[in-house]
Structure 1
Amino acid sequence: MTREVRVRYAPAPTGYQHIGNIRTALFNWLFARHEGGKFIIRIEDTDRERSEEKFVTQILDDFRWLGLDWDEGPGVGGNFGPYRQSERLEIYRKYTEQLLTEGNAYYCYCTPEELQERRKVARKERRAPAYDGRCRELSTEDQRKLEAQGRPRSVRFRVGEDREITFEDLVLGKTTFESRQLGDFVVLKSDGRPTYHFGVVVDDWLMNVTHVIRAEGHLSNTPLHVLLIESLGAPRPKFAHLPSVLSADGKGKLSKRLGALSIVEYRRQGYLPEALVNFMALLGWSPGDDREFMTRDELIESFSLDRVKKSSARFDTEKLDWMNASYIRKMPAAELIPTAERVLRDAGCNTEAFGNDRLAELVAVYQEKLTTLGELPEKAKFLFVDQVEYARKDVEKFLVKGDGAGLTVLREIHGVLSALPDWTGPEMEAVLKRIVEEKGVAFGKVAQPIRVAITGTSVSPGIYDTLMLLGRERSLARMKDALERFGT
């Protein structure tokens, strides 16, 4: 009988998740959903100094926003909890005792300062800075003396004789390490908390994780984990190490230092979760054809680890922007309202006067020209202020220049629009076209004075859309204000 596929994403709540982290989570989620298995979130919060509850909350909120649900973990429970490492300390102590009893681990009394100095010497002598094993064979009397000195006591795993450690990676293929390169490593720190290596192995074992899908940076950790798995008598999961995501210029691994933004920041800037999921899925994976746009269901149906590329993927910001703009254009305006309303509100725009219908009209007018919805507050700023700020160069060019030719046109337009029985696009189009024909001028000679008067600049959507969005009363009032302010 085939075991149920069980995968996990295990973030440390020490900061916000960036797109490289979430790409790993997404691949786990897609694999679980494709295989009909379980996706687990486990919080690795044993770093007491750096772990914060606000980051736990944000991690889970990121997943909800992206539409990535989880089957076990914080907020949903499960049969293999607790799902926070800080609540599993007794479990780690139990299996540490097993390693000690069976001779696979020993107490180490070396201080951090001593270890650092030995590593420095090893590097100077061009030796591998592995632990030299000096606490391996301490007698009980030696241990008592060291403890009497108040030295910290950690527990180290005994790597053992020289051997090859080989595993079949589902992405990278057969991979081999030499045990002599590893050195004995700490499994339980002096404060009683597990190291990453020990905690992750014990948790994966007891949570029945079948596939460990993680970033390529963890590849060198895998031989340590294989040794621990063997010593504990646990079944070995299948490993899949994902290629790195490189920065936009391809010169380094994507990181906060090299431009990796957090999911929180992408959300703040008005990117759509559908676009981000689609974009991240194609970072190092291909559906096997030339498709660029894929729904969540299509991604689940197509996803497999054998299509994950071995080579690194480059984070292409321009492609993300292009893809996000495409999603904005394709989505019904009504579906964009929640994000549009949030970015407008975050920018200080009072949206209370705008009902959903008007917000949908606003989005529909702009969505063809938006890369992200975060651009909306600046572009539509004139709708949310009582008094526009006039761009002086536009006032000079379209209103004042030529002995106030623009103001003369604007005065006539104000009178004509004031007399309209209905404030509709077709009504306004008819009267403005008539003025254009009577004066024998290009349409811009009529439209631009209106645009500058009601928005403060010469750039806005189509003039009829702009007038409709602003409304009759405010449009006429701003034209009147411009005439009084700049007229002679």
Structure 2
Amino acid sequence: MTTIRTRFAPSPTGFMHVGGVRTALFAWFIAQQSSGTFILRIEDTDKVREVEGSITQIENSLRWLGIDWQEGIDKGGTFGPYLQSKRLAIYKEWAQKLIDQGRAYADPYSKDELEAFRVQAKMNKQPFLYRRHRPENPPEWDGSQPLRFKSDPKPYTWTDAVMGDLSTGADAIDDFILIKSDGFPTYNFCHIIDDMLMEITHVLRSQEFISSTPKFLNLYEALQIQRPILGTLPYVMAIDGKKKLGKRDGAKDILEYGSEGFLPEAMMNFLATLGWNDGTEQEVFTVHEMIEKFSLDRVQRSPARFDEQRLLWLNGQHIRLLSLDDLYVRVTDFWPASAKDADEIYKKQVLALVQDRLKTLKDLPIITDYFFQSPVPNWLMADDNKQLRKLNRQEQSELLSQTMKAIEQVKDFTTDNIQSALNQLLITTGQKPGILFSLIRLAVSWAPFSPALNDTLATIGRGETLTRLQTAIDAA
């Protein structure tokens, strides 16, 4: 049985974007399903566009998501090196094989001559094809000129694991550059050599490369190698569905999401379901479920839309799935400054109350700060409340005074006893929960939202509750 070997081969030209990470994730799923091997290979042959630090950023991005690799520049492996700039001798060896077979030749034309060919093709209303200008007696390749593949134009029909059966005519085939004049190979050449030598079984890539696939098929034939399973992933579009996701549409470094309080499991869930589903209504998946259920034939052929509101919702769902101990570890860097001196027991008590309300870990300070320090009264929040503004300030203060008396009379300050006292207060005051409970909640927290009122009061304690109610009355 063939061992499944997949790879992710990004270029170190900037931060990891959503589309690239999704490609890595799908390839990782395939390897994980069969206990295969996932490889991280860095395609650094475009030195002009290379950005310093990008390789580290790529590795850190994958690690944050939980995507591990068995072979790579930091781990080595049987088929290394895994940095393309260190494989130049390998590419030249295979380029020479093509030269010896009469399937590659030196490109003798200058940039001006090539541009003249393009202009002439445009004037003739024809597509520009380099092979129409293939030199009859090209010079011997000495490395100073580009080396071109001598194509064999023909129609192709092939099966893409995502897009299905595809076909193209001979006009899609042209003589493309294998090795540039700077000595570095092109993507069109070196990725095929690397995939062959590294025994890659599945190649997943973005839709932007689908028009180049016929050229790849032509080169596979020339090299007499069996091509891997090819899968073309549709674009990730902006929310309006009209264009590819870009920086102006909210695309950002995948690691930024971690610093903004998103869980890697939620991001993985989100990325996996950008164009894939298991055929059910399920939306929230554990990592194990995604690995188990993923299949390329369930990846949609149409572009997926990047909806950050859905990511936010998924993040909240995954936060709820965490155990309290796990969540406590993850929020270490997100507590408000006021929690600095609080003990672990109290912080976990607070965390248990707010866990269901967290959409991101970064929400923690705004919904827990009042548990660690007395908030400053802000009666404008009451004025902005549709229910509370039905009462004037004197009426609001009177209700808080009655609340203080009720709180003082609770014998054992437990959540059940507090709730009983609050329910009785509804009867005594004749108020609705939407008014009375909202008023009390504001007076003790001055926060836009908080956990159940009885839980909040029990956590901050009777004494602190009475102090805050009195402070609110004094500030009214």
Question: TM-score of the superposition, structure 1-length normalised?
Answer: 0.82
Correspondence 1:449-488 to 2 at 5 A: 449-457=439-447, 459-470=449-460, 475-486=465-476
Distance 1:174 1:166 in 2: 7
Q: Secondary structure at the residue paired with 2:167?
A: strand
Distance 1:189 1:139 in 2: 16
Contact in 1 for aligned 2:284/2:317 (Cα 8 Å) = no
Partner of 2:146: 154
Correspondence 1:435-454 to 2 at 5 A: 435-443=425-433, 446-454=436-444
Residues 1:395 and 1:129: Cα distance change in structure 2 (over 3 Å): same
Distance 1:447 1:129 in 2: 74
Deviates more, 1:237-246 or 1:317-326: 317-326
Correspondence 1:101-180 to 2 at 5 A: 101-112=100-111, 115-116=114-115, 118-119=117-118, 122-123=121-122, 125-131=124-130, 134=133, 136-138=135-137, 140=139, 153-160=145-152, 162-180=153-171
Residue 397 (structure 2) pairs with residue 407 (structure 1): yes
2:356 to 365, 368, 384: 368
Deviates more, 1:411-420 or 1:201-210: 411-420
Partner of 1:32: 31
Deviations 1:143-200 (CA, angstroms, capped at 9, x unpaired): 99xx9xxxx622221214x322443323334433334433221111222111111121
Supply the AA of the counterpart residue of 2:182: D
Residues 1:15 and 1:482: Cα distance change in structure 2 (over 3 Å): same
Distance 2:424 2:374 in 1: 31
Contact in 2 for aligned 1:187/1:197 (Cα 8 Å) = yes
CA RMSD of superposed structures (Å): 3.6
Deviates more, 1:471-480 or 1:201-210: 471-480
Deviates more, 1:396-405 or 1:48-57: 396-405
Partner of 1:44: 43
Partner of 2:92: 93
Distance 1:354 1:307 in 2: 49
Q: Secondary structure at the residue paired with 2:200?
A: coil
Deviations 1:69-105 (CA, angstroms, capped at 9, x unpaired): 2221143321111111122222223323333343322
Q: Secondary structure at the residue paired with 2:243?
A: coil
Deviations 1:35-77 (CA, angstroms, capped at 9, x unpaired): 3321111111222233235332232222222222222114332
Distance 2:209 2:81 in 1: 24
Residues 1:464 and 1:122: Cα distance change in structure 2 (over 3 Å): farther
Residue 155 (structure 2) pairs with residue 198 (structure 1): no
Partner of 2:7: 8
User: How far apart are 1:448 and its partner, in Å?
Assistant: 4.0
Distance 1:240 1:396 in 2: 54
Distance 1:9 1:396 in 2: 52
Partner of 2:217: 226
Distance 2:411 2:433 in 1: 23
Q: Secondary structure at the residue paired with 1:266?
A: helix
User: How far apart are 1:17 and its partner, in Å?
Assistant: 2.2
Q: Secondary structure at the residue paired with 1:380?
A: helix
Residues 1:114 and 1:473: Cα distance change in structure 2 (over 3 Å): farther
Contact in 1 for aligned 2:377/2:472 (Cα 8 Å) = no
Contact in 1 for aligned 2:172/2:214 (Cα 8 Å) = no
Contact in 2 for aligned 1:278/1:296 (Cα 8 Å) = yes
Partner of 2:77: 78
Distance 1:350 1:465 in 2: 20
Q: Secondary structure at the residue paired with 1:234?
A: coil
1:236 to 217, 223, 227: 227
Contact in 1 for aligned 2:64/2:255 (Cα 8 Å) = no
1:394 to 375, 378, 382: 382
Residue 365 (structure 2) pairs with residue 377 (structure 1): yes
Distance 2:330 2:356 in 1: 16
Residues 1:259 and 1:113: Cα distance change in structure 2 (over 3 Å): farther
Supply the AA of the counterpart residue of 1:167: W
Contact in 1 for aligned 2:375/2:445 (Cα 8 Å) = no
User: How far apart are 1:400 and its partner, in Å?
Assistant: 12
Supply the AA of the counterpart residue of 1:3: T
Aligned residue-pair number: 474
Contact in 2 for aligned 1:400/1:406 (Cα 8 Å) = no
Partner of 1:324: 315
User: How far apart are 1:272 and its partner, in Å?
Assistant: 2.8
Deviations 1:83-129 (CA, angstroms, capped at 9, x unpaired): 11122222223323333343322222545565456445534543213
Partner of 1:287: 278
* % same residue: 36
Supply the AA of the counterpart residue of 1:251: K
The unaligned stretches of length 5 or more in structure 2 are none
Contact in 1 for aligned 2:339/2:369 (Cα 8 Å) = no
Residues 1:81 and 1:249: Cα distance change in structure 2 (over 3 Å): same
Contact in 1 for aligned 2:4/2:200 (Cα 8 Å) = yes
Distance 1:218 1:350 in 2: 52
Deviates more, 1:267-276 or 1:419-428: 419-428
Distance 2:162 2:393 in 1: 73
User: How far apart are 1:432 and its partner, in Å?
Assistant: 4.5
Q: Secondary structure at the residue paired with 2:130?
A: coil
Residues 1:426 and 1:4: Cα distance change in structure 2 (over 3 Å): same
Partner of 1:352: 340
Deviations 1:227-251 (CA, angstroms, capped at 9, x unpaired): 3333334332222223334433333
Residues 1:140 and 1:203: Cα distance change in structure 2 (over 3 Å): closer
Distance 2:468 2:122 in 1: 73
Residues 1:295 and 1:442: Cα distance change in structure 2 (over 3 Å): closer
Contact in 2 for aligned 1:337/1:356 (Cα 8 Å) = no
Distance 1:255 1:399 in 2: 44
Supply the AA of the counterpart residue of 1:407: S
Partner of 1:211: 202
